A and B are shown apart, each in its own frame.
Chain A
């Protein structure tokens, strides 16, 4: 099996990745070993993704909708909400009609 080598052999640019910071932003509790594997893989992928910087000229950023649609709204009309029991049935923990989570911050 072979792949378009032009893509694979695009010269690598050094990319520093504070992988622990990225994982924290993304709320992923990974071990140090896992972080190191992902850091290395991201390095390879980003080296190649950096090809986007080879684009010539000063093109515009793509519009929000691929086909350039604009102005989609709904009227201010109330529609029935979901049944609360059905909604809460999917939740890991509930109490008196509320979803329950631990405290926001570590205590103690």
Chain B
């Protein structure tokens, strides 16, 4: 039997607001434990939450970026469960009226584009952090739990996809694309390694062609795109094996074990998932009128998908468009400015994603000290033969080191090519005079000897000759 995986992904993204969701404590990663806490985020008796307007506008932005409906009115609910790192023992979350619903996100895997439905995006608060200490630090062997509430109350947006994903590769592509959107909006640090964006997957399998869904298993604890893909892959295979050996998939939550590359069942007690949702009486409804929604929409940046298609219409192939799209904003604007100044798109994109990007990474520089106009000039100098492409890399280095514009650097560093025919003819003639054998070989049909002769001319001119021009001159002389 052929099995079809059915996958839905839940994403939790921490928003990078200055202050927390319901109090004025700073949102700060890596602070000393329990230093960014107050009565509200510690759940002290009598404390009350007040929502952060910025967080509400940012979830609206996320929803609009995913083509969601923004609810005209939305409310918070209490989700009740006891856990040591949940100070109030309820989480302020949303239930039946999320801020955003019914959107979609396009992903592409192996050149094929698929549309993944977004069920909802809702606003909630993060929990504190538990560190289980004791034998080996493993959850089951822990002797005690250390609690830090700095993360408690950090704004969290939960984005739930529809069960539209059909493979591990699509799961990864969806997660990456969603992360790119959130990062583009500038609303979250979206760092997997710091946990500021987290992915859970709901995985089930069903016989190919079946209408009904199989029993779904929630998998958690994947902290990279790779582990998400591997975990989903493992889980699909595990479920198929269970079913094919006549077993039944149990509805449960499983943990991805990064080292063993397997999922483990989490020990949970029966019946503990009665969350008793009810409207949060400490908060009033959020009314998001058209004016407010329009204002948020107007502030949206260009999103990755739109940008990639713009690059493709500039003439880039989809791969290069994707690579460029993932570059930082400052690198992308160098490309945009250079192209606007008339530079050819493909060459410009290659420079930006190649040499310029490499320089930024090598120097760990926050600034990219080259303008679009300067890059356009450099590309033009390569195109018209003023500099060789290898010399151009040195020119770029000089520009980025603050030595001046491309032309000035090329001249100062003596990197311009000899493109003057009369100057080169002499060099060509003397090389031919020194290599009569080569002339012989050429005339007897070994035309690849031209390469050797070009090399000789380049050496004679200390690399400053335009190799294309040298090639032309040589062929002329030899066939003449």
Contact = CB atoms under 8 A, between A and B. Distances in A.
A104 B33 contact: no
Interface in A25-53: 25, 27
A88 B34 contact: yes
B146 A104 contact: no
B6 to A, nearest CB: 31
Interface in B278-314: 279-281, 283-287
Contacts of A87: 34, 37, 42
A17 to B, nearest CB: 14
A54 interface: no
Contact of B19 (A79, A88, A96, A103): A79
Contacts of A99: 34, 146-147, 149
A82 B34 CA distance: 9
B26 interface: yes
Contacts of A25: 80, 271, 274, 276
A82 B38 contact: yes
Nearest to B87: A99
A64 B19 contact: no
Contacts of B52: 73-76
B448 interface: no
Given A25-B276, A77-B24, A65 B285 contact: yes
A107 B33 CA distance: 26
Nearest to B39: A82
Interface string A84-106: 10011000000111111111110
Contact of B285 (A64, A88, A96, A100): A64
Interface in B35-59: 35-39, 42, 50-56
Contacts of A96: 33, 146
Contact of A77 (B19, B80, B132, B148): B19
Interface residues of A, number: 35
B468 interface: no
A82 B37 contact: yes
A84 B149 CA distance: 11
Given A69-B284, A76-B53, A78-B26, A104 B141 contact: no
B154 to A, nearest CB: 12
A95 B34 CA distance: 11
A72 to B, nearest CB: 5
A98 B146 contact: yes
A104 B83 CA distance: 8
Contact of B142 (A71, A78, A79, A107): A107
A70 to B, nearest CB: 5
Contacts of A81: 25-26, 35-38
Contacts, number: 133
Contacts of B26: 78, 81
B146 A95 contact: yes
B143 A103 contact: yes
Given A21-B271, A74-B53, A78-B25, A98 B284 contact: no
A65 B284 contact: yes
B139 interface: yes
Contacts of B274: 25
Contacts of B127: none
Contact of A74 (B50, B140, B284): B50
Interface string A52-64: 0000000000011
Given A77-B19, A79-B19, A87-B34, A103 B145 contact: yes
B82 A84 contact: no
Interface string B124-150: 000000111010000111111111110
B42 A73 contact: no
Given A74-B24, A77-B19, A87-B37, A101 B54 contact: no
B341 interface: no
Contacts of B19: 74, 76-79
B33 A97 contact: yes
A104 B132 CA distance: 8
Contacts of A95: 146
Nearest to A103: B142
Contact of B82 (A27, A70, A79, A82): A27
B17 interface: yes
Contacts of A76: 17-19, 52-55
12 contacts: A25-B274, A73-B53, A76-B17, A77-B19, A78-B19, A79-B23, A81-B36, A98-B147, A98-B148, A100-B146, A105-B139, A107-B140
Interface of A: 21, 24-25, 27, 63-65, 69-79, 81-82, 84, 87-88, 95-105, 107
Which 6 interchain pairs have the tightest Cβ spacing?
A79-B24, A73-B53, A76-B54, A98-B146, A99-B147, A103-B142
